[in-house]
Amino acid sequence: MTRWLAALLAGAVFGAGLALSRMTDPNIVLGFLDVAGDFDPRLAFVLAGAVVTTLIAFRLVLRRGRPWLADRFRLPLARTIDPPLVVGALLFGVGWGLAGYCPGPALVGAAAGVDSALIFVAAMLAGSLLQGMTSRGRAT
């Protein structure tokens, strides 16, 4: 139960940060991607803040012997860049560029009842199901 509450709290803080920085507005994201037009640099500041926070926090957290709410750290072991990773990254980027949403802000927008976010989340879930069905039997 403690893990669920910690996950809920972390998700709420993340969602509040997205809402406060207005990253749930796809127009902000699309403005950042429009470097040849009406460029909006706000996303760069949010990204820079996230990178700095992560660089500091990861160093501190990984010094611990284990996480507070788990028996061990579960870090990715794969270090190869393979075709599924590249294709997935390309699809993610194209979807982000077309819709102005990535999963976190889309979920916050959907929770707020934003129509475009609800449509994006439905498409994201459909894509996740399709990926799950097509990757069965393939080693991860």
d(CA 113, CA 116): 9
Checking if the pLDDT of 140 tops 60, the result is: no
pLDDT range class, residue 137, cuts 50, 70, 90:
low
**35-86, pLDDT tens digit by residue?**
898 899 988 998 899 999 999 999 999 898 888 888 998 888 888 999 988 9
What's the gap between Cα 10 and its chain centre?
Answer: 13
Q: Tens digits of per-residue pLDDT, 79-112?
A: 899 998 899 899 888 988 888 898 888 998 898 8
pLDDT tens sequence across 109-135? 898 899 999 999 999 999 889 888 887
DSSP letter for each residue of 7-41: HHHHHHHHHHHHHHTTTT-HHHHHHHH-TTSS--T
* pLDDT band at residue 9 using 50, 70 and 90 as cut-offs: very high
Residue 107 host element (H or E): helix 103-111
Task: Determine the Cα–Cα distance for residues 101 and 90; give it in Å rounded to an integer.
Answer: 15
Q: How far are the Cα atoms of 27, 38, 76, 102 from residue 117, in angstroms, in the given order?
A: 12, 23, 29, 10
Q: Decide: pTM greater than 0.75.
A: no
